[in-house]
Structure 1
Amino acid sequence: MANQLCYNINVTSANEFWQSDTVFEFHLSYLGGQIALILFLNRLFYYVLKPLRQPHFVAEILVGFLLSRDLLGSHHLIEKVFPENGVLTEEAIANIGIAFYVFLTGIEVNPNAILQARKKATCIAIAGVIIPMVTGSAIFGLYQLSSKASAASSSQEDNTFKAYIIWALAISATGFSVLARVLADLKLLYTGLGRAALSAALITGLYNWFMFLILIPFVMNGSSGIYSVLSTLAFLVVCFCVIRPLLVRFIDRQTEQESIEPQHLMCVVAGLILCTHITDTLGSHYVVGAFVFGLIIPHGKFADYIIDNLDYFGASILAPVFFVLCGMRIDFSNLKTQWFLSLVTILLLFTLKVFSTTVAALFFGMPTRNSMGLGLLMNTKGVLSVIILNIALDGKILSSSSYTLMMSAILLMTIVVSPIINYAYKPRKMFAQYKLRTVQKLRTNVELRLQACVHNTRQTMGMARIFEAFHSTKLSPLHVFALYLVEVTGHATSLVLAHMEDSSSHLRFQNQTESQAEFEKISNTFDAFAEETDATKVETHTAFSNYSTIHEDVLNLAEERQTCLILLPFHQHSTADGSLETTNVAHRDININILNDAPCSVGILVDRGLGTFSKGNMHILMVFIGGPDDQEALAVAWRMARHSGVKLSVVRILLFDEAAEVDTSDRAESHGLLSATMDNEQQKDLDDDYVSSFRLMAVNNNDSITYFEKYAHNSEDISAILTELDKNQYDLYIVGRGKGRNLLALSKLLEWSDYPELGAVGDILSSDTFGSRSSVLVLQQYGSGVGYGTSIQYADNMNLDKDDPDENLGVYTDNRDKV
């Protein structure tokens, strides 16, 4: 039985509240100190748990448990900070905070997603709700029977009908917003497993809220709950059919006029308070009103404005007070006499959602490993489960021991998800290895898969011209995975949802956020390119993440899609006078991180207006010096030469004397397996063989391809040759980065380079001092850089659905011929 507290409050006059109990001296001063302590401990616990990638609410509940009277063993210490006669003030702030938290969660959710969901995701979600509800109630019944003889059992649970409902709802819920953050932290958000989990969790979350709306009124009001349910449903109809259209019209008008002002935010807060009051008056819980009000706010600039301004105050300052108070109500002393029964019950509750989701996923043909991962992810709990348990404890439906048992189960379910997934389902471990990681190893009759990253619309035309130059045919189709990279600057989950739902297609243009409008333009540009030929397919996605870790999303998607080339934009763009101007210095860090760990070959495009040249015609010069990167660059140029509008010139710079000396200084790097096992002469033999093959098969059979040689005796000769070649005004240079060659002349050039990620030759061609107006494509072959080495494995004959990559969890099929 929970402790019953009585408060002795001195009131001078019943009508003069501000004269009661020294409001300013006691309540406000204590409240400020309590919030400060809570926030400090929250951040401390969050950073302690950060290696385990735990959600914020887990740290907040654990802080509450740390501050509980039973854990500290002394009522005097905790009484100094959390006096019993101040609990009403704390709970009032906690309720306001959780209302803001649920409101922001409602904004993140698109109710149309449940109507547009695929049958597979819907069935998995339903199985993950219904089965845990039924079996969870059965486990509660067994727990009640087993604990009847225990002195710790409470008579208030003898009438277990309401308790059955509480157990069923709490155990079946999935914390969608919490799961989204977990997936983002684990860098699984853009994998097949992440998309499947997020889709199923969204549907499950909406079902959970609907069940909450239907069943909780009966828990709170008994048989009269039917009137609360009907009146609340009527309120929902009014909100969606009357209020939402008016809101959409008003927000569209204000957004079009760019007149979103702070007073509009105050109106939103007033609407939130009004909706919570209405649902509370109707006999439902007040958070229903907060969630529904969030649902009717249309996605777009106005929604992002609300999130940016209310997230920190509501979700980061006030809401933690609620979770901390929940943790303070945990009392393990009541479970001491039946700890074994409690442990068994917690383990059984833990397996319900995992088992039901896994079975459903297996039924639809998902691999066993991915099905289990999906079941584990769907076991993530969130705010709804915590709210349900607090309703039960406040209404004396659950005893303190049952509350502690259920809260422990919820914490366990959520805590173990991130460590297990991070260990067993790390993206690089999930994806089957594949051999065709380079363009050089790719046969001409095999689909070419490229991943192109862009940061803005300016970069799309140059990328599209590169796609066009590859000249896709039915025999050798082109599959492009375009990735629009957006830095997270606000509420992470709302950005995640914008990607997952592709909500930009459902918004009027004036109500789109800047990133949504940019994504639409980028997508339209690439779609227009794809429509020009039946042999080209383009998929455009958005990656929202912090710039310090967004490269992991790029690498994971490239690994999953089994691309053989990642195309990146240079961090500088061309100005009107032809010089290069920095777009964002952080873009350079992204490129370097991708070069270091790429699972395939990488190309960096220095675009000097490549997309403005006449369509279908391009004059390319490929500069070949030697090494695996140059071989990859020649392979790319050779493939582009198949296009009827491309004229290719290949110049091989032969090195003699000083220029041919091998760099044996301490600054020379280890460049992978090739450089570790072959000396410079052996590498030169490989270069000779590949160039000879190119001349025999390409130059002699195609009038649009020319080949010539230049001789260099020192590093100055290389610069002079490039200056002479630039007089021909080529549209595009294709060069290798040079990671596979240890030549003293190139090492000297690199010492003067501004951007080593372009290599010695690429840096010269791209520098403003060189004076070229030509674009430059710098290639790094997989295996010549750091990170992956040259290990090659096969991934053939995998029985997955190639036409539906979203359904493939972690592996993409490609029954290719081995080279």
Structure 2
Amino acid sequence: MDATHKFVCQDDLANPLAAMAVQVSCILVISHFFHILLKALGQPGPIAQILAGLVLGPSGLCNIKKVKHYFLPPSAAQYYEMFGFFCRILFMFLFGLEVDIAFIRRNLRVVCILACGGASVGAIFGLVSSFFLREYFLEKSLGKANYVIAMMLFVAYSATPVVNRLAAELRFATSDIGRLAVSSALVIELTCLLIFNFMILCTSGKMVGNAFLVLVGLVLVLVAFRYMATWLNKRISNHKYLRNPEVFIILSILIATSMLIELANFNSIIACFLAGMAFPKEGKTARTLLHKLTYSVHNFVLPIYFGYIGFQFDGTYFSNMSNILIVLVLVLLCICSKIGGVLAVCHYLKIPFSEGVFLAFVLNLKGHADLLFIGTAAKKLFEWTPMAYNLLVMTVVISTVISGPMVAILMKKEYQLFAHTHTTLSTELEKPENELRVLGCVYGPRQVNAILSVIATLRGPQTSPIMPYMAHLIELQKKRRTNVSYHELEDDEMSDEEEYGGNDVVEIHRAVDAFTVETSILINIIKTVSTLAGLYEDVCTAAEDLRTTIILLPFHKHQRIDGKMEIGKQAVRTTNQKILRHAPSTVGIIVEKGLAGSLGFSQLTRVDTVQHVATLFFGGPDDREAIAWSTRIANHTKINLTVIRFLPTESSNTRNMKVDSEKGNNDIEVFMALSSLEMGNDIDNSFLNDFYNGFVASGKVGYVEKYVNNGTETVAALRDIGDLYTLFIVGRGGRGHSPLTTQMSDWEECPELGTVGDLLASSDFNVSGSILVVQQHRHTKKDLIDD
């Protein structure tokens, strides 16, 4: 706050700024060196960046007088604080854009209880320690109450920026426990900041008016951002991103608002976070801000900020044994309070002990707001002793440096806690309330509508959570020649990676934005640029990192106007085949057909008519996965679903015999529907029995049985229903040598679709509906090296 007032009131402007620029450069270089060393040990980037600050700070190179005189001139403190202020604005706004509000809303009770447990015990420990340390830390007798509250906040606090970055570095951000940790840290941080701002508000009665003006101004800015984003999304439709001047205007409004809040003696961290959280997530405005800010914040702003935390560590204070004991006691209080509080609430919430220990160390990570509680803002409320600030900064650094490696060690030890477990739908037949994570892959605008329609059906009822991603797969062009001059290069050789995709990117973005407006389903778009031989590896890696349950792939053929199927790129087929072999989750291949009318399945989100969908069941794990897929779309308002089970003809005679022997039973109709479940595989029967009781008996799904003797009769039965449905869902295979399908393999053209799927997708087979071929995750170890 003081830096905002004094930033324009310094005489020696050049030297502090030059020193800060050199310091920032040194932090980036040294942190990169440490990151290379520590990455081999499994340690995250923030730890390397804090260590870089330690090496450069008073405990390291700044012990040299000339280095100290250059890096720490008398007037440099305000500039460093101002630089930290701008850093806070950017990364808190970015975190607001990225925050998973839907997850917090669904798990609000668990998140709040966990945050309360982790912070309340820390607050108690901070309260007790404040009385013992008062004579060491408090300069005057005034401000005792504020000093006690600041110590409580200091021990209780959890740093969301550090937690977020650590989660991204160690790749547990998308796991359930990782999202719980990030959400709990966010609740703790916002609560601590609210209490701190309330402390400032209570110091003077005049600040009540300022608080009211700040609140009104913040609401006006949030409303202005919403209307500005809507206007900018419509303004230039043929661009994939906003132009730099438009981004500059948005960030200027954000920075100006934050500075006004700081000038009113309040902290602007919460305001920046709320601005990002309330900013409209759909459209190219939010997409541009994420694109511009993510790289700069993660690769420059946060490393510098973490380095600055370590830079403030002054090891010279360890020359006194009492100082060492104070720091040691505070570090133990921070760690023990988090472990005790988190484990207590985890026991109440029935969370396993190993997960509780992991959550405790994650929530013990500290950072920027701790420096706020003990920095110049706190000096307005009470007076620290000269050594108090330095000892508390050392506590922040040591606590974070201990907790970060512990989190990495626990991740290695308890690997199963973070493993990708939600790999199939059939294991969650009775849990439709679980979040479904989907990765849809497209090569161009042609396949977007079909993929989006499948995602819309998987949404099911409005209460079913879904996290969809769309990967734009782009072929990496040939490498640029190095033995020619720049002007001799061809256009595709000069293209930067950002330019890959061309106008396809604009059309894909436009289709996704329209889909979001129509369905309120936010699609997260990612771009993968690789050689065609390596695209499958990128898809499998993305699916594993994002922990998706389903991978959606487009078929390598598309339907022409005359109804024939035409091959697009043969390499697409090869990529699909490799993904089927190595996928870490269930895979669905969508074959888009039915161009004769405009009411096909790919137009699901654009028409009001009901779409008739059929799920074909012959038996086996893939068909069971197709049935489980059907449970997700059964409650969709535009879907009329029918499950068609194919059975051998002899099972019909057996069923009639059983019905005759049960004529006295009042439930004869239900028995007739279920009697055939006793035929065939026991696993299939049990699975269908559960499905019948949950969906068919309630009238949500239709159930039909067709009796055939061989593949020829199966083909005839499929021809009879070819014009009745706009989408056919069928398993790829895994049925063994079924007499119902074995004779159909003679004309198999595309083995990646399976016997039935290949028949339905054939140009010679007159089916007006699209086909979705499902392969259940094989539960084999993924091997990304192809022979």
Deviation of 1:157 after TM superposition, in Å, equals 8.7
Amino acid at match of 1:126: C
What is the alpha-carbon distance in structure 1 between the residues aligned to residue 710 and residue 370 of structure 2? 72
* 1:234 aligned residue (201, 206, 212): 212
Match of 1:278 in 2: 260
Match of 2:582 in 1: 596
Match of 2:451 in 1: 459
Structure 1 position 202 matched with structure 2 position 191: no
What is the alpha-carbon distance in structure 2 between the residues aligned to residue 368 and residue 118 of structure 1? 21
Amino acid at match of 1:268: I
Structure 1 position 38 matched with structure 2 position 27: yes
Q: Deviations 1:157-196 (Å, cap 9, x if unpaired)?
A: 9989355443322222223344344445555445543443
Match of 1:357 in 2: 342
Q: Report how many aligned residue pairs link the two structures.
A: 634
Structure 1 position 65 matched with structure 2 position 54: yes
Match of 1:121 in 2: 111
What is the alpha-carbon distance in structure 2 between the residues aligned to residue 584 and residue 199 of structure 1? 44
What is the alpha-carbon distance in structure 2 between the residues aligned to residue 203 and residue 399 of structure 1? 26
Match of 1:324 in 2: 307
Match of 1:551 in 2: 543
Check whether the contact 2:163–2:182 (CA below 8 A) recurs between aligned residues: yes
Match of 2:248 in 1: 266
* 2:64 aligned residue (70, 75, 94): 75
* 1:131 aligned residue (88, 113, 121): 121
Q: Which stretch of the first structure deviates more once superposed, 81-90 or 759-768?
A: 759-768
Check whether the contact 2:543–2:551 (CA below 8 A) recurs between aligned residues: no
Relative to structure 1, the CA distance from residue 32 to residue 120 in structure 2 (aligned partners, 3 Å threshold; closer, same or farther) is closer
Amino acid at match of 2:226: V
Q: Give 1:479-558 correspondences, 5 Å limit.
A: 483-486=467-470, 518-519=515-516, 521=518, 549-552=541-544, 556=547, 558=549
Relative to structure 1, the CA distance from residue 482 to residue 78 in structure 2 (aligned partners, 3 Å threshold; closer, same or farther) is same
Check whether the contact 2:648–2:707 (CA below 8 A) recurs between aligned residues: no
Q: Deviations 1:481-526 (Å, cap 9, x if unpaired)?
A: 855224599xxxxxxxxxxxxxxxxxxxxxx9986764565678xx
SS at match of 1:484: strand
Deviation of 1:203 after TM superposition, in Å, equals 2.5
Amino acid at match of 1:416: M
Match of 1:492 in 2: none
SS at match of 1:226: coil
Deviation of 1:62 after TM superposition, in Å, equals 1.7
Q: Deviations 1:13-39 (Å, cap 9, x if unpaired)?
A: x9996xx79x4xx66765554433332
Structure 1 position 252 matched with structure 2 position 230: yes
RMSD: 6.0
Relative to structure 1, the CA distance from residue 52 to residue 486 in structure 2 (aligned partners, 3 Å threshold; closer, same or farther) is farther
Match of 1:529 in 2: none
Match of 2:158 in 1: 174
Deviation of 1:75 after TM superposition, in Å, equals 0.4
SS at match of 2:265: coil
Relative to structure 1, the CA distance from residue 59 to residue 131 in structure 2 (aligned partners, 3 Å threshold; closer, same or farther) is same
* 1:419 aligned residue (383, 406, 409): 409
SS at match of 2:366: coil
What is the alpha-carbon distance in structure 2 between the residues aligned to residue 513 and residue 202 of structure 1? 33
Q: Give 1:678-697 correspondences, 5 Å limit.
A: none
Structure 1 length normalisation: TM-score? 0.60
Relative to structure 1, the CA distance from residue 579 to residue 59 in structure 2 (aligned partners, 3 Å threshold; closer, same or farther) is farther
What is the alpha-carbon distance in structure 2 between the residues aligned to residue 177 and residue 586 of structure 1? 40
* 2:331 aligned residue (328, 337, 346): 346
Deviation of 1:210 after TM superposition, in Å, equals 0.7
Deviation of 1:409 after TM superposition, in Å, equals 1.7
Structure 1 position 378 matched with structure 2 position 380: no
SS at match of 2:59: helix
What is the alpha-carbon distance in structure 1 between the residues aligned to residue 458 and residue 251 of structure 2? 50
Structure 1 position 101 matched with structure 2 position 84: no
Match of 1:471 in 2: none
Check whether the contact 2:122–2:333 (CA below 8 A) recurs between aligned residues: no
Check whether the contact 2:450–2:592 (CA below 8 A) recurs between aligned residues: no
Amino acid at match of 2:438: C
Deviation of 1:207 after TM superposition, in Å, equals 1.0
Q: Percent identity?
A: 17
Deviation of 1:266 after TM superposition, in Å, equals 3.3
Relative to structure 1, the CA distance from residue 449 to residue 726 in structure 2 (aligned partners, 3 Å threshold; closer, same or farther) is farther
Q: Give 1:272-311 correspondences, 5 Å limit.
A: 272-285=254-267, 297=279, 299-301=281-283, 302-311=285-294
* 2:709 aligned residue (707, 710, 731): 707
- Structure 1 residue runs without a partner (length 5+): 1-13, 219-224, 469-476, 490-511, 525-539, 559-565, 625-629, 653-687, 711-720, 789-819
Q: Give 1:400-439 correspondences, 5 Å limit.
A: 400-424=390-414, 426-427=416-417
SS at match of 1:549: helix
SS at match of 1:326: helix
Amino acid at match of 2:32: R
Check whether the contact 2:761–2:771 (CA below 8 A) recurs between aligned residues: yes
Relative to structure 1, the CA distance from residue 319 to residue 240 in structure 2 (aligned partners, 3 Å threshold; closer, same or farther) is same
What is the alpha-carbon distance in structure 2 between the residues aligned to residue 16 and residue 157 of structure 1? 30
Check whether the contact 2:46–2:166 (CA below 8 A) recurs between aligned residues: no
Relative to structure 1, the CA distance from residue 85 to residue 758 in structure 2 (aligned partners, 3 Å threshold; closer, same or farther) is farther
Check whether the contact 1:756–1:763 (CA below 8 A) recurs between aligned residues: yes
Q: Deviations 1:530-558 (Å, cap 9, x if unpaired)?
A: xxxxxxxxxx997989856332256x565
Check whether the contact 2:643–2:704 (CA below 8 A) recurs between aligned residues: no
Q: Which stretch of the first structure deviates more once superposed, 91-100 or 778-787?
A: 778-787
What is the alpha-carbon distance in structure 1 between the residues aligned to residue 325 and residue 19 of structure 2? 40
What is the alpha-carbon distance in structure 2 between the residues aligned to residue 133 and residue 270 of structure 1? 37
Deviation of 1:463 after TM superposition, in Å, equals 7.4
Q: Deviations 1:317-374 (Å, cap 9, x if unpaired)?
A: 3554443233122123322535466434412311212322332343345454444444
Check whether the contact 1:272–1:289 (CA below 8 A) recurs between aligned residues: no
Deviation of 1:92 after TM superposition, in Å, equals 4.6
Check whether the contact 1:485–1:544 (CA below 8 A) recurs between aligned residues: yes
Deviation of 1:112 after TM superposition, in Å, equals 11
Deviation of 1:82 after TM superposition, in Å, equals 3.3
What is the alpha-carbon distance in structure 1 between the residues aligned to residue 369 and residue 573 of structure 2? 39
Relative to structure 1, the CA distance from residue 128 to residue 59 in structure 2 (aligned partners, 3 Å threshold; closer, same or farther) is same
- Structure 2 residue runs without a partner (length 5+): 1-7, 441-447, 474-508, 529-538, 595-599, 631-639, 650-678, 690-702
Check whether the contact 2:625–2:731 (CA below 8 A) recurs between aligned residues: no
Deviation of 1:63 after TM superposition, in Å, equals 1.0
Q: Give 1:594-633 correspondences, 5 Å limit.
A: 595-596=581-582, 598=584, 603-609=588-594, 611=601, 631-633=620-622
Deviation of 1:238 after TM superposition, in Å, equals 1.5
Amino acid at match of 2:230: D
Amino acid at match of 2:217: C
